[in-house]
Amino acid sequence: MADLELKKAILDKIKEYDSIIIARHIRPDGDCMGSSLGLRDILRTSFPNKKIYSIGKSGADYLKFIGTEDSEVSEDIYKESLIIAVDTSVKDRIDNDNVLKGKELIKIDHHLNVDPYGDICYVRTDFPAACCIIADFYDTFKDELKMTKDGATALFCGMVTDTGRFRYAGMTKRVYELVGMLMEYGIDTEFVFSNLYIRESGALKLEGWVLNNYKETPNGVAYIHLTKKIIKKYGLTYDDAAALVNSLDSIKGNLIWIIFIDLDDQIRVRVRSRYVECVAVGQKYRGGGHPRACGATVYNKKEIKELVEYADSIVKEYKANNEGWL
């Protein structure tokens, strides 16, 4: 189906249902919270007679400034509801066990479509954030939809966070247009950026530790392993630890950067890159994601070493065949 037809099909489904439940992925980030709460705002404001819920199990305290989700509803409500899952590439990662009880399911996502689930599957890998898809959907049907400042703020927040504050390669003319469209709703950007940038002093001290202790490979991979000991010493949550991957994003010559985070029974890996694509690293080690931002899982130090060596070989080949990287 062409893009406009898909969007129309989604709008038709929304109109058809009296009850709609929006779901999103586990370990919520700014984009999945923003797209869930932003879509909820659009639907509530546009269709005041419908019951619209945004429901997920695990929360993220640092994102509460864009709003909070609804508490769980009964199974009976699921059974008569349309479920819309946002920003979630794989069905298993939806942070809501009840979604499969819904009457119909729509997937709206911007990750590679490795699991095309749902009665309608709307994937836009040309957008750097799920919030862009929601904003574009809204913009398409602006004559019949409404949104408040809170909804626009939530969508803006997701765009800001999933694009590294508008720095990553996915920023296109269309994305800037959508940002402009959202700005018409009076978003307080200082409020958003203050909330996103403010850090606990413990997290800043840990960043100092990361910058003093990261390792580099011969061809340009920077990496750091956050062991259980370090995580305990600095009192980190998983989210604090995961965000630290960005501390390694601007080191000259290191085109791939990786953070390893010890969990109870596995080591979570976050891989990022500039110029060169790094998603092959995630795919090789039980993960995946975007061309230049992906995740993986490993189980021991030997696998950490192998993963780093594999990433190093990717950078080596890239540098041998390309110029102009920094």
Between 162 and 207, name the residue whose CB sits nearer to Mn ion. 162
* Angle between helix 130-140 and 173-183 (nearest 10): 70
Rounded to the nearest 5 degrees, what angle is found at the Cα of 91, between the Cα atoms of 80 and 268?
140
Residues 6+ apart with CB under 8 A from 95: 23, 24, 25, 26, 27, 28, 56, 57, 58
Residue 159 near residue 135, CB atoms below 8 Å? yes
Residue 108 CB, nearest distance to Mn ion (Å)? 11
Find the part of the chain contacting Mn ion (CB under 5 A) among 79-87, 195-203, 231-239, 296-304.
79-87
Residue 34 CB, nearest distance to Mn ion (Å)? 9
Round to the nearest angstrom and report the end-to-end CA distance of the chain. Answer: 40
Residue 114 CB, nearest distance to Mn ion (Å)? 15
Residue 131 CB, nearest distance to Mn ion (Å)? 8
At 86, give phi and psi (nearest 5°).
-110, 145
Residue 109 CB, nearest distance to Mn ion (Å)? 8
Find the part of the chain contacting Mn ion (CB under 5 A) among 51-59, 83-91, 212-220, 285-293.
83-91
Between 43 and 130, name the residue whose CB sits nearer to Mn ion. 130
Coil, strand or helix at 105: strand
Q: Tokens in use for 109?
A: 């996502």
For Mn ion, which residue of 87, 136, 207, 240 counts as binding (CB under 5 A)? 87
207 binds Mn ion (CB under 5 A): no
For Mn ion, which residue of 41, 69, 162, 207 counts as binding (CB under 5 A)? 162
For Mn ion, which residue of 20, 31, 83, 244 counts as binding (CB under 5 A)? 31
Positions touching Mn ion (CB under 5 A) are: 31, 87, 130, 162
